[in-house]
Structure 1
Amino acid sequence: MRFVQDIPHPHFRIGLYAWNGKYIVKIEAGPYEQTYKISEMDITDPESVPNRLDEPFLSRVAKRFQEMDQDWQEAGERYDYDS
């Protein structure tokens, strides 16, 4: 996987990578990660990727991170992993 660029954001760590004919957008928050794979044929210029990461999109990403955390916490409570 080839690193292309970091995409600055105040709350997430966002990286753009190229691999196997795809651009991969990795968005990290704490212990969680969301990955989006986009065909290189769908985006001719990787510099256009940050424009797609607009406020409505990142708002949904943030909500998904909250849901991921809630799922993980509930799983821990069901199986008492913290003990």
Structure 2
Amino acid sequence: MPTVVVIDGVKVQFYWDDHLPAHFHVEFGEYRAQVAIDSLEIINGWIPAPQLRKVKTWAATQKEHLLKAWTVCRSDLNPGSIA
């Protein structure tokens, strides 16, 4: 699973050939969640609110890049990093 960015210790990742809806995975210590790209809401799991806010703030400006990374990763290719 490629990590596209780390935001204050929170890894933002995609899984190869993942299921719909388009989403990314976040990992912070023992916490894990899946975040929908379109709404930026958690669709599964949980991470602490301060970390979630940071991820959402970043992701709100990166939706186009996140959707592209989702598509690339579903094709079993590495999406690279997102700044």
Structure 1 and Structure 2 fold alike (TM over 0.5): no
Which one has a bigger Cα radius of gyration? Answer: 1
Q: Shorter-chain-normalised TM-score: which range?
A: 0.3 to 0.5
Normalized against structure 1, the TM-score is what?
0.33
